[in-house]
A and B are shown apart, each in its own frame.
Chain A
Amino acid sequence: MTGNDAMSDNDVLRAVSVSVCAVPTSSRPQLAQIRHRGRVQQRRRMLPVAGALVGAGAAALAVTLAMPSSHQPQIRLDAWTVSTQANGDIQVTINQLQDPSGLQSTLRADGVPASVTFGQQNPACQHYPQSGPDLLQQVYGIPAPGQYQGPANAYVFDIDPSALPSGAGVAIAVLNDSGSGGKFTVNQDLVHTSPGCTGS
């Protein structure tokens, strides 16, 4: 029997099916997470960027931040917004790349060990070694938000503080992709908490 005689078209397709179906995959995401992600996408589509991703705005920022965040159901700023959802998730909307330290402080005040940097990584941060895709998805939603947001829309993501393991914090770094027409890379990861990285 020759090789070509050995497999009919159906045999070939069956072999593909059997092999692909044998691949172990993670458990199916929760429907609620899919819906949540869809709502986030919807909001992202509706939120325009407020102006260019550079510029002033520190005055408004300072005034607003003077209010204690724990008593504010929502802190609205020109550059970014942090709001607490009914389910305890913290929603972050970045409109302009300004005042990362203010955003970082607000997240920390809301109980999230956080490092936020625009334009560079925080060199004091160390990757949390167990931050595989499942854990990232639990903390940031489904799927783990990616590495990019173009200038056409605000960047919106959620953080579920209850999903953070002990000793872990969030690291958010927005980087300018040089030579890519003003596009940005948004890296969201989990890191070890430390004074130099997440403040505690």
Chain B
Amino acid sequence: VSQEQTEFAEFFESSWDPCLRAVLAVVGSPQQAEDQVAEAFARAWRAWRRVSRHPAPRAWVVRTALNTGTTWWRRRAHELPLAHYDAIASGDQDGGMDAGILRALRSLPPRQREVIALRVFLDLDTGEIAAHLGIAPATVRVHLARATAALRQELNPARTQEVSQ
């Protein structure tokens, strides 16, 4: 087994879950997230020499998975409807995610969702997120502030209800 294979195996073992959670937070569907993350890891293996030198390989996988998703949705729009042949594409269920959280996440713009995902699940700091997304740290802070404010607005009614019961 080459060193390259060993390194990738370790990366895959340690990174699958956090990457999956990050992508799941953005796309909302477990099945879709799993497919996209698997595809992204396959691409990471294909380009492992380059990805292994990336400052944040997990973030590379998440970004690739989300780009795959964008392409997938764009492609899906071109598909013909096929009776009885839609099993692969059916993956829009929320899979048990808290309805309030899901609604709150879906209400966010995609970039804000991605910033949240990178912060929460990959534990990247503001500078790392900024470098990865190619935006200014101040912009990351704005996205985070707006996202948490919007999430708080969505989440608090449910919590208030729980307290009053």
A residues neighboring B (CB under 8 Å): 1, 3-4, 6-7, 9, 12-13, 15-17, 19-26, 28-29, 31, 33-35, 37-42, 121, 125-127, 131-133, 136, 142-144, 146-148, 171, 173, 175, 177-178, 180, 183, 185, 187-189
In the bound complex, CA of A131 to CA of B85 (Å): 10
Specify which chain A residues have a CB less than 8 angstroms from the CB of B52 in the assembled complex: none
A133 and B31 contact, Cβ closer than 8 Å, known pairs A34-B41, A42-B46, A147-B79: yes
A23 and B95 contact, Cβ closer than 8 Å, known pairs A17-B120, A144-B88: yes
Nearest Cβ distance between residue B125 and chain A, in whole angstroms?
A: 13
A146 and B75 contact, Cβ closer than 8 Å, known pairs A21-B21, A189-B88: yes
B residues neighboring A (CB under 8 Å): 5, 8-9, 12-13, 16-17, 20-21, 24-25, 30-31, 33-36, 38-39, 41-46, 72, 75-76, 78-80, 82, 84-85, 87-89, 91, 95-98, 101-102, 105, 116, 119-121, 144, 148, 151-152, 155-157, 159-160, 163
Nearest Cβ distance between residue A135 and chain B, in whole angstroms?
A: 9
Q: Can you sample 19 A-B contacts with CB below 8 Å?
A: A3-B152, A3-B156, A15-B151, A16-B116, A16-B120, A17-B21, A20-B97, A23-B97, A25-B20, A31-B13, A34-B38, A34-B42, A38-B42, A127-B84, A127-B85, A136-B88, A144-B88, A185-B79, A187-B85
Query: 8 closest A-B pairs (Cβ-Cβ)?
Result: A3-B156, A37-B42, A38-B45, A19-B101, A127-B84, A19-B98, A143-B35, A38-B46
A interface, over-half SS: mixed
Interface centre among A3, A33, A39, A131 (most CB of B within 10 A): A3
Specify which chain A residues have a CB less than 8 angstroms from the CB of B5 in the assembled complex: 35
* Other-chain residue from A9, A16, A31, A35 in contact with B25 (beta carbon distance below 8 A): A16
Q: Count the A-B residue pairs with Cβ separation under 8 angstroms: how many? A: 161
- By the criterion CB–CB under 8 Å, are A24 and B96 in contact? yes
- By the criterion CB–CB under 8 Å, are A16 and B42 in contact? no
In the bound complex, CA of A131 to CA of B84 (Å): 11
Nearest Cβ distance between residue B140 and chain A, in whole angstroms?
A: 14
Residue on B with the closest CB to A130? Answer: B87
- By the criterion CB–CB under 8 Å, are B159 and A23 in contact? no
A177 and B80 contact, Cβ closer than 8 Å, known pairs A12-B151, A31-B9: yes
